[in-house]
């Protein structure tokens, strides 16, 4: 279970004007601009739910993900994932967590994918039988087959994304964060990835937190959607509710765009 | 001619923007220069009679070396040019109504000047304030200063012509890195970067002076410190001119031939 | 440790996929340091000795520094390139894995080409030993080993400081090269040659003289035996470096930049 209660985070950005004189001045006096990224964020995600987390760029999505995964320490508020405080019990926490960043790779570039997987097995200390079982299952579901022998740099984006998802699940995490997992993928790959996420959730009861700009992802996967803007939670419901709020019979895409406008974000 | 000049200006402006990098580089140059001088100081105090040049001349040599480092250092390659030759993108340059070799030359000279212009001033100012014999001293005669400036111009041309020859050879090599690594090592050894040439053993020293590397920093720095007397200036500068002509001719011909090849191969 | 070796083998094989450039980069590394040593050879040709040191003794001196820097550069490459690890958000990824962070940073990047320099150092060392630079005893052999290993330790600390500064500045600070590239260049002579101020800085601030100048005095029979134990004292330098690393990670956690 993921719990966030009253989480706030403000970034202090040092302001520096261009130019040599100003660069010199900033050695002595610094101007900071405070940028609130999250304000009093509160929500709970029960085990086994697939949650869509949406909002325009800069709304605070990645800040939330970073706090939940222990990379960032919030200024105030309480956060627990299965009873652990992410930034205080980092190692125990991340051992039960899988994260996929759509825009970044965690595979080693020049070695065959299978070797990256073996390395992850060692990093996460996965017992051999568990590893074999997980790997076999993921290989079958994600149709990895021959890809395992290919160096990551030679994979297409769609192939790579399937490998990335497998890499994040080798240690059998109970919670999975997916940050734009379908970005840039072709239609076939997108469908495969979606199908797999549903399957994984159904078979293993994995809790999934999905951020995306692709509303079809949301339609296909999420039983619940959180809409955030300017660091605040604006809406907590399912896709039907979003469409209902926007009125008329808009697609989810249009409905969300309509909501962004209405909340002025 | 005008288009080269405007290209040159553009490069200069672009180079001048990396102020923070230049500032940071200067601090290391003070330390490097200081350490070099402390090192030779130890030798000088112990065996002044075996010193092939005066300590004051050597100090000036070292400070000038630090000040003009980016001007003559061979490792200051134009990576964009190398990349465009390696990938074959260079054939698009044929679309422009300019000669590619002169374009490369203008670009190399401009970049070197821009980088050096920023770094040299503080090093020159501070080092000339140091007490004798550890600081930078102007040559006694204005004539020596004049030939220094002239040979410095020739030096930049030698260095750039050599770099351009390497770029031209890249048309024919699968990997230019080996050539570049070797060139830099030779230039360090034979050009007077690791020790000034007067400190090299006989035989090697004379050989080094005849190579193109010996026509780089070695000449203007030693003319400035009057380690090479004015009377020999025509000879050493003549050699510089010889290398400029040879390197430019070779580089130009190889570039033309290489370009034709690249176009035939389809880039 | 097993995991570390696995990473090492991966980096080796990655380097080997581009075999030609791997060997060229080995060649390049060795040529640079060969040139540094040649400068010593030429000056000794002219002056015979400096500060009472002979060429074989200087060869030994440089071999120690060369081996130390190369080992540190090979294994702490991840700290040297830390700006890249931060800017490409690789550090976020490392925080998502259940292992100590510093350990992971070290695993992230290694530079096998540096082994060429370790090899070069070994050759120089053998030549120095063969030319009778030192009257060898078991204790002296032990001190030599300590000098190389602790030297690698001090350089590691310098790299660590560099990485910690990067947490705050987010870009590499060129001025730190003074302590990263400088010793490799100027460690060719015992630091005492450069005069007292330099020796003091390198004894008490960045204790490179403790792995080079002082124990060399013992090896060459010019100083008392306890000088031979000073390399161990140099390792104290790693304590503030380690603390600084913690400060850096804390800072990263609270800014997330």
Q: Provide mean pLDDT across the span C181-186.
A: 89
From CA A197, how far away is CA A187, in angstroms rounded? 16
Over residues C10-67, the pLDDT tens digits come to 888 888 888 888 888 899 889 999 999 999 999 999 999 999 999 999 999 999 999 9
Rounded percentage of chain A residues whose pLDDT exceeds 90: 52
pLDDT on residue A14: 65
B125 near B135, Cβ under 8 Å? no
Chain mean position to CA B208 = 15
A255 near A243, Cβ under 8 Å? yes
The residue among C97 and A248 whose pLDDT is bigger is C97
pLDDT-derived band of residue C103, with 50, 70 and 90 as boundaries?
A: very high
Show residues of chain B in contact with C193, CB under 8 Å.
38-39, 42
Pairwise CB contact (< 8 Å): C43 & B46: no
Structure tokens given for B173: 């090599």
Nearest C-alpha in A relative to C2: A122
Q: Which of B22, B24, B41 to mutate to test the interface with C (most CBs of C within 10 A)?
A: B24
Pairwise CB contact (< 8 Å): C97 & A123: yes
Does B149 reach chain C within 8 Å, measured CB to CB?
no
Q: Provide mean pLDDT across the span B182-195.
A: 92
> Which chains, if any, share at least 3 CB pairs under 8 A with chain C?
A, B
Pair type for strands A50-54 and A76-81: unpaired
Over residues B238-248, the pLDDT tens digits come to 999 999 999 99
Using CA atoms, how far residue C118 sits from B43, B74, C73, C110, C208, in Å, is: 29, 26, 11, 14, 18
Q: Provide mean pLDDT across the span A209-218.
A: 90
A121 near A105, Cβ under 8 Å? no
Q: Provide mean pLDDT across the span A111-128.
A: 92
Structure tokens given for A58: 């800069």
- DSSP letter string over C174-192? GGGHHHHTHHHHHTTS-GG
From CA B242, how far away is CA C68, in angstroms rounded? 45
Cα atoms in the 13 Å half-sphere on the side-chain side of B93:
20
From CA A204, how far away is CA C78, in angstroms rounded? 37
Q: DSSP character for B227?
A: S
- DSSP letter string over C195-240? -HHHHHIIIIIS--TTTTHHHHHHHTTSS-GGGGGHHHHHGGGHHH
Q: Provide mean pLDDT across the span C101-120.
A: 90
pLDDT on residue C45: 92
A255 pLDDT more than 90: no
In DSSP terms, A210 is beta-bridged to A52, A178
The three-class DSSP label of residue A125 is: coil
- For A179, left (φ over 0), alpha (ψ -120 to 50), or beta? beta
From CA B79, how far away is CA B180, in angstroms rounded? 11
Nearest residue, CB atoms, C42 vs list B38, B178, B201: B201
Structure tokens given for A247: 């009125």
- 3-state secondary structure string, C118-144? HHHHHHHHHHHHHCCCCCCCHHHHHHH
User: How far B17 CA lies from chain A's nearest CA (Å)?
Assistant: 9
Least confident stretch, B84-88, B213-217, C115-119: B84-88
Q: Where is C3: in which H helix or E strand? A: helix C2-17
Highest mean pLDDT among A243-252, B14-23, B65-74: B65-74
Other residues' Cβ atoms within 10 Å of the Cβ of residue B19: 13
Chain mean position to CA C103 = 18
b/e per residue, B245-257, with b = 16+ CB within 10 A? eebbeebbebbee
Burial classification of residue A17, based on how many CB atoms lie within 10 Å of its CB (0-12 exposed, 13-18 middle, 19 or more buried): exposed
Q: Which of A35, A73, A89 to mutate to test the interface with C (most CBs of C within 10 A)?
A: A73
Using CA atoms, how far residue B18 sits from B10, C33, C121, C173, in Å, is: 14, 29, 37, 14
Q: Provide mean pLDDT across the span C246-251.
A: 92
What mean pLDDT value characterizes chain C?
90
pLDDT on residue A30: 59
The three-class DSSP label of residue C64 is: helix
With a CB cutoff of 8 Å and minimum separation 6, the contacts of C183 are C65, C69, C155, C208
pLDDT on residue A165: 94
pLDDT on residue B106: 87
pLDDT on residue A22: 54
The residue among C87 and B4 whose pLDDT is bigger is C87
- DSSP letter string over B105-173? HHHHHHHHHHHHHHHHHHHHHHHHHSPTTTS----SSHHHHHHHHHHHHHHHHHHHHHHHHHHHHTTT-
Nearest to B259 by CA among B75, B149, B94, B114: B94
Structure tokens given for C145: 């080993």
Q: Which of B17, B19, B24 to mutate to test the interface with A (most CBs of A within 10 A)?
A: B19
Structure tokens given for C144: 């030599």
pLDDT-derived band of residue C81, with 50, 70 and 90 as boundaries?
A: confident
Q: Using CB atoms and an 8 Å cut-off, which of residues 20-39 of chain B contact chain C? A: 21, 24-25, 27-28, 31-32, 35, 38-39
Using CA atoms, how far residue C153 sits from A118, C66, C136, C237, in Å, is: 30, 13, 24, 9
The three-class DSSP label of residue B51 is: coil
Over residues A216-234, the pLDDT tens digits come to 899 899 989 999 988 889 8
From CA B64, how far away is CA C10, in angstroms rounded? 45
Pairwise CB contact (< 8 Å): A63 & C256: yes
The residue among C163 and A24 whose pLDDT is bigger is C163
Rounded to 5°, angle at Cα B22 from B64 and C257: 155
Chain mean position to CA B176 = 20
Q: Provide mean pLDDT across the span C154-168.
A: 91
The count of CB pairs under 8 A between chains A and C is 65
With a CB cutoff of 8 Å and minimum separation 6, the contacts of C70 are C114, C115, C117, C118, C121
User: What are the DSSP E strand ranges found in chain A?
Assistant: 2-15, 31-45, 50-54, 76-81, 97-101, 175-179, 207-211, 224-229, 232-237
Does A263 reach chain C within 8 Å, measured CB to CB?
no
Does C246 reach chain A within 8 Å, measured CB to CB?
no
Using CA atoms, how far residue C30 sits from B53, B219, C26, in Å, is: 30, 28, 6
Nearest to A50 by CA among A200, A166, A257: A200
Does B122 reach chain A within 8 Å, measured CB to CB?
no
Over residues A9-65, the pLDDT tens digits come to 998 776 655 554 555 554 555 567 788 889 999 999 999 999 999 988 888 888 999
B162 pLDDT more than 90: yes
What mean pLDDT value characterizes chain B?
88
From CA B98, how far away is CA B88, in angstroms rounded? 18
Nearest to A180 by CA among A124, A242, A119, A101: A101
Show residues of chain B in contact with C189, CB under 8 Å.
39, 42
Q: Provide mean pLDDT across the span A191-214.
A: 92
pLDDT on residue B266: 54
Rounded to 5°, angle at Cα B141 from B140 and B146: 125
The residue among A4 and A255 whose pLDDT is bigger is A4
Handedness of CA A238, A239, A240, A245 (dihedral sign): positive
A156 pLDDT more than 60: yes
What mean pLDDT value characterizes chain A?
87
Rounded percentage of chain C residues whose pLDDT exceeds 70: 99
Q: Provide mean pLDDT across the span C110-122.
A: 90
Burial classification of residue A89, based on how many CB atoms lie within 10 Å of its CB (0-12 exposed, 13-18 middle, 19 or more buried): middle
pLDDT-derived band of residue B21, with 50, 70 and 90 as boundaries?
A: low
The three-class DSSP label of residue C102 is: helix
From CA C31, how far away is CA B181, in angstroms rounded? 8
A112 pLDDT more than 60: yes
pLDDT-derived band of residue B267, with 50, 70 and 90 as boundaries?
A: very low
Burial classification of residue C19, based on how many CB atoms lie within 10 Å of its CB (0-12 exposed, 13-18 middle, 19 or more buried): exposed
Structure tokens given for C1: 């440790």
pLDDT on residue B91: 79
pTM of the model: 0.86
Give the residue carrying structure tokens 């996967």. A221
Does A20 reach chain B within 8 Å, measured CB to CB?
yes
Q: Residue C107: is the preceding peptide bond cis (ω within 30°)? A: no
> Which chains, if any, share at least 3 CB pairs under 8 A with chain B?
A, C
């Amino acid at each position: 279970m993921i719990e966030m209660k009253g989480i706030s985070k403000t970034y202090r950005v040092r302001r520096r004007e261009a130019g040599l004189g100003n660069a010199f001045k900033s050695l002595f006096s610094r101007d900071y601009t405070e940028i609130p990224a999250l304000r009093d964020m509160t929500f709970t995600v029960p085990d086994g739910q697939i949650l869509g987390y949406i909002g325009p760029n800069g709304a605070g999505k990645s800040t939330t993900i970073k706090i939940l995964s222990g990379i960032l320490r919030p200024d105030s508020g309480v956060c627990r994932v299965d009873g652990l405080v992410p930034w205080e019990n980092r190692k125990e926490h991340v051992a039960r967590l899988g994260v996929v960043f759509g825009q970044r790779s965690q595979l080693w570039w020049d070695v065959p994918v299978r070797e990256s997987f073996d390395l992850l097995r060692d990093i996460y200390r996965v017992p051999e039988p568990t590893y074999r079982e997980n790997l076999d299952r993921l290989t079958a579901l994600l149709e990895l087959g021959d890809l395992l022998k290919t160096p990551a740099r030679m994979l297409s984006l769609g192939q790579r994304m399937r490998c990335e998802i497998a890499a994040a699940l080798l240690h059998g995490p109970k919670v999975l964060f997916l940050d734009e997992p379908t970005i840039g993928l072709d239609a076939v790959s997108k469908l495969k990835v979606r199908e797999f996420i549903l399957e994984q959730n159904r078979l293993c009861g994995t809790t999934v937190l999905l951020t995306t700009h692709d509303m079809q992802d949301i339609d296909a996967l999420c039983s619940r959607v959180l809409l955030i803007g300017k660091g605040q939670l604006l809406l907590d419901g399912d896709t039907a509710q979003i469409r209902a709020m926007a009125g008329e019979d808009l697609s989810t895409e249009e409905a969300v765009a309509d909501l962004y406008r209405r909340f002025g974000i | 001619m005008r288009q080269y000049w405007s290209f040159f200006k553009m490069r200069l402006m672009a180079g001048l923007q990396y102020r923070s990098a230049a500032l940071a580089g200067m601090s290391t140059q003070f330390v490097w220069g200081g350490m070099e001088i402390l090192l030779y100081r130890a030798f000088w105090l112990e065996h002044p009679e075996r010193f092939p040049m005066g300590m004051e001349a050597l100090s000036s040599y070292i400070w000038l070396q630090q000040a003009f480092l980016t001007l003559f250092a061979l490792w200051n390659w134009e990576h964009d040019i190398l990349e465009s030759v390696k990938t074959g993108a260079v054939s698009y340059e044929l679309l422009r109504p300019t000669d590619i070799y002169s374009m490369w030359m203008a670009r190399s000279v401009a970049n070197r000047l821009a980088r050096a212009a920023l770094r040299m001033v503080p090093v020159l100012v501070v080092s000339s304030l140091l007490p004798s014999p550890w600081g930078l001293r102007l040559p006694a005669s204005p004539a020596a200063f004049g030939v220094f400036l002239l040979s410095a111009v020739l030096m930049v041309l030698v260095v750039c012509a050599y770099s351009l020859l390497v770029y031209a050879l890249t048309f024919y090599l699968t990997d230019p890195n080996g050539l570049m690594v070797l060139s830099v090592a030779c230039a360090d050894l034979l050009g007077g970067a690791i020790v000034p040439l007067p400190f090299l053993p006989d035989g090697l020293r004379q050989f080094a002076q005849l190579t193109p590397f010996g026509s780089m920093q070695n000449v203007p720095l030693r003319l400035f410190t009057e380690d090479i007397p004015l009377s020999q200036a025509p000879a050493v500068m003549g050699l510089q001119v010889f290398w400029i002509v040879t390197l430019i001719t070779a580089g130009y011909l190889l570039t033309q031939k290489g370009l034709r090849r690249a176009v035939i191969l389809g880039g | 440790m097993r995991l570390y070796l696995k990473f090492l083998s991966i980096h080796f094989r990655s380097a080997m996929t581009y075999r030609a450039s791997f060997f060229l980069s080995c060649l390049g590394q060795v040529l640079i340091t060969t040139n540094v040593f040649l400068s010593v050879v030429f000056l000794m040709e002219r002056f015979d000795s400096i500060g009472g040191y002979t060429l074989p003794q200087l060869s030994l001196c440089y071999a120690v520094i060369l081996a130390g820097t190369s080992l540190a550069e090979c294994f702490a490459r991840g700290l040297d390139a830390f700006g890249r690890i931060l800017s490409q958000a690789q550090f976020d990824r490392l925080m998502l894995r259940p292992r100590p962070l510093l350990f992971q940073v070290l695993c992230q990047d290694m530079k096998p080409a540096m082994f060429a320099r370790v090899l070069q150092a070994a050759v120089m060392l053998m030549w120095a030993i063969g030319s009778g630079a030192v009257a060898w005893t078991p204790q002296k052999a032990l001190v030599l080993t300590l000098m190389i290993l602790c030297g690698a330790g001090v350089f590691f600390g310098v790299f660590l400081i560099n990485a910690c500064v990067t947490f705050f500045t987010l870009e590499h600070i060129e001025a730190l090269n003074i302590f990263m590239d400088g010793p490799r260049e100027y460690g060719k002579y015992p630091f005492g040659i450069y005069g007292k101020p330099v020796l003091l800085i390198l004894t008490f601030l960045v204790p490179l003289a403790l792995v080079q100048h002082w124990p060399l005095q013992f090896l060459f029979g010019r100083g008392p035996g306890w000088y031979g134990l000073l390399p161990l004292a140099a390792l104290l330098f790693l304590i503030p470096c380690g603390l600084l690393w913690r400060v850096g990670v804390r800072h990263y956690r609270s800014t997330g930049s």
